[in-house]
């Protein structure tokens, strides 16, 4: 194809609607031809179409969800340099699945503030809390390492203007673990890249879905590691 | 002050075919200062994003979320799906913030490009059309284009960009709408409009070159 024929394909290429074949043809040509500036100008023109779109107010909960992601991802970056989570179980599953099942059974029995005595992860920790109203919280983590699997249940689902916020009190500091809403069954499960430490007190409040750095609502429950 | 002087030069550029309206023209001095301040704020946000400062993402959200959500909503016409797209795009910016160039003006263009790309992918998946590969963000031309977007946004506000869009003929607007907001390929636009392939291609080319001229991004080709 010559440059003129390629120019016919460039609009679809920069609008992101070119087929794989058309992209291949355009990129083959661009590798040998000096249309780079033209492509950049057309790509910018296409991108600017978005700037003319009408603004629409998103739901308030969206901001809290995005900011909760930053809390997780910040620690996630650290995790790449840290100890991989549960490597002992993966290795055991690969070598001896029966032993792995037995190990899982041991873990299942060892809830209620039990520090597991595994050879490779002695600091593994499972915390279980059960309240008087059938509400419960389970946290599985390695103390001092980023990452915790959290599940809970027995809570009322909040309307869209609010989210549950999970906090930790550590000394005189109050740290936000994350925000979420429970499902219609009153349950939630997920993972936070939060670093728990021994002695942390965990508690939960309902807050505005727009998010907050400091708790304002009344604690739904409190429990100490 | 150097920022103001630089921006004033851009504002006065004769290359900009879309002229400010009379009200904007009377406010040029104030607008110039506002644009300079705006660029300082935007650069500060990028620099803080690179430093992994969550408040930078929050500020970016406060400034950009309505436009990003408006774009996703226009493409998908589905609030919850648009929310997911916007969340995904902001998460991408955060997860890749350490790769951002702190010398780059802003990431606004990048965010909207991400939202557009993901929304079109979702739209095509919903209508059981094949996914299209991304050709725009990762290439060198794509990076240069994002700089050009910042350059144009420094000079033209959303109203001016809309006026450039209004200068397109109805036929050109239709094909741009189908391609950009409908995520349609040439063949799909042909099927939708019953136009010959050559006509679709030439209308898209004329439309995009018209926008390029209006945005002051070089002559038509």
Subunit contact A48:B152, Cβ cutoff 8 A: yes
B132 closest CB neighbour out of A7, A19, A59: A19
Subunit contact B66:A56, Cβ cutoff 8 A: yes
* Interval B145-174 mean pLDDT: 82
Asked whether the beta carbons of B106 and B150 are under 8 A apart, the reply is yes
Query: Confidence class of residue B169 from pLDDT cuts 50, 70 and 90?
Result: very high
pLDDT at A61: 87
* Interval B133-155 mean pLDDT: 66
Asked whether the beta carbons of A196 and A143 are under 8 A apart, the reply is yes
pLDDT at B135: 57
Lowest mean pLDDT across A95-99, A196-200, B27-31, B180-184: B27-31
| Among chain B residues, CA nearest to A54 | B70
- CA torsion A207-A210-A215-A221 (nearest 10°) is 30
Q: Which fold has domain B167-221?
A: Arc Repressor Mutant, subunit A (1.10.10)
Subunit contact B180:A45, Cβ cutoff 8 A: no
Q: What percent of chain A has pLDDT over 70?
A: 76
Subunit contact B204:A11, Cβ cutoff 8 A: yes
Distance of CA B144 to the CA centre of its chain: 13
Report d(CA B106, CA B100) in Å as an integer: 10
* Interval B28-57 mean pLDDT: 73
Task: Tell me what the pLDDT averaged over chain A comes to.
Answer: 74
* Interval B128-154 mean pLDDT: 66
Structure tokens at A49: 């179409």
Residue A153 vs residue B139, higher pLDDT? A153
B184 closest CB neighbour out of A17, A42, A55: A17
Indicate whether this complex's ipTM tops 0.90: no
CATH of B2-155, one of 3.40.630.10, 1.10.1740.10, 3.40.640.10, 3.40.50.720: 1.10.1740.10
Subunit contact B67:A15, Cβ cutoff 8 A: no
Give the tens place of pLDDT for each residue, B80-116. Answer: 999 999 999 999 999 888 878 766 667 888 888 889 9
pLDDT at A69: 82
Residue for token pair 């031309």: B141
* Interval A204-209 mean pLDDT: 89
- Gap from B2 CA to chain A (nearest CA, Å): 26
Give the tens place of pLDDT for each residue, A11-31. Answer: 888 888 888 888 888 888 888
Give the tens place of pLDDT for each residue, A74-94. Answer: 433 333 333 333 444 444 444
Chain A, window 33-72: residues with a beta carbon less than 8 angstroms from a chain B beta carbon: 36-59, 62-63, 65-67, 69-71
B212 closest CB neighbour out of A45, A58, A73: A45
Asked whether the beta carbons of A55 and B70 are under 8 A apart, the reply is yes
In chain B, domain spans: 2-155, 167-221
Going from the C-alpha of A114 to that of each of A119, B84, B132, the distances in angstroms are 15, 38, 51
Q: How far apart are the first and last CA of chain A?
A: 69
């Amino acid at each position: 194809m010559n440059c003129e024929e390629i120019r016919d394909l460039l609009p679809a290429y920069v609008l992101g609607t070119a087929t794989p074949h058309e992209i291949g043809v355009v990129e083959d040509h661009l590798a040998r031809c000096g249309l780079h500036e033209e492509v950049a100008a057309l790509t910018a023109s296409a991108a600017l179409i978005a700037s003319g779109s009408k603004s629409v107010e998103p739901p308030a909960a969206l901001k809290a969800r995005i900011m909760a992601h930053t809390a997780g991802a910040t620690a996630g970056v650290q995790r790449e340099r840290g100890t991989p989570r549960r490597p002992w179980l993966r290795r055991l599953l690969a070598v001896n699945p029966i032993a792995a099942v037995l190990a899982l059974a041991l873990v299942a029995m060892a809830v209620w503030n039990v520090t597991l005595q595994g050879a490779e992860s002695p600091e593994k920790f499972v915390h279980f809390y059960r309240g008087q109203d059938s509400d419960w919280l389970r946290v599985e983590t390695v103390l001092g390492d980023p990452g915790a699997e959290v599940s809970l249940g027995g809570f009322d689902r909040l309307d869209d203007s609010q989210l549950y916020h999970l906090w930790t009190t550590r000394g005189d500091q109050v740290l936000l673990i994350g925000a979420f809403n429970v499902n219609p069954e009153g349950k939630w499960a997920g993972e936070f890249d939060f670093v728990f430490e021994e002695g942390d007190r965990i508690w939960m409040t309902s807050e505005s879905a727009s998010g907050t750095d400091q708790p304002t609502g009344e604690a739904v429950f409190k429990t100490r590691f | 002050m150097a920022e103001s002087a630089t921006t004033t030069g851009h504002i006065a550029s004769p290359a900009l075919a879309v002229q400010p309206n009379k009200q904007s023209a009377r406010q040029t001095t104030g607008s110039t200062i506002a644009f300079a301040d705006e660029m300082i704020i935007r650069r500060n946000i990028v620099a803080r994003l690179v430093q992994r400062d969550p408040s930078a993402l929050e500020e970016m959200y406060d400034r950009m979320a309505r436009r990003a959500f408006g774009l996703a909503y226009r493409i998908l016409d589905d609030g919850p799906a648009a929310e997911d797209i916007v969340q995904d795009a902001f998460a991408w910016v955060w997860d890749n913030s350490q790769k951002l160039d702190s010398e780059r003006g802003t990431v606004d263009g990048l965010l909207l490009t991400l939202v557009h790309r993901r929304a079109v992918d979702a739209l095509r998946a919903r209508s059981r059309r094949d996914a299209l590969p991304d050709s725009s963000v990762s290439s060198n031309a794509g990076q240069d284009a994002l700089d050009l977007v910042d350059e144009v946004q420094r000079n033209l506000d959303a109203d001016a960009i809309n006026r450039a869009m209004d200068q397109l003929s109805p036929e050109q607007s239709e094909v741009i709408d189908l391609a950009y907001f409908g995520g349609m390929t040439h063949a799909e636009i042909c099927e939708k409009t019953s136009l010959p392939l050559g006509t679709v291609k030439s209308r898209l080319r004329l439309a995009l070159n018209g926008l390029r001229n209006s945005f002051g991004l070089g002559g038509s080709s």
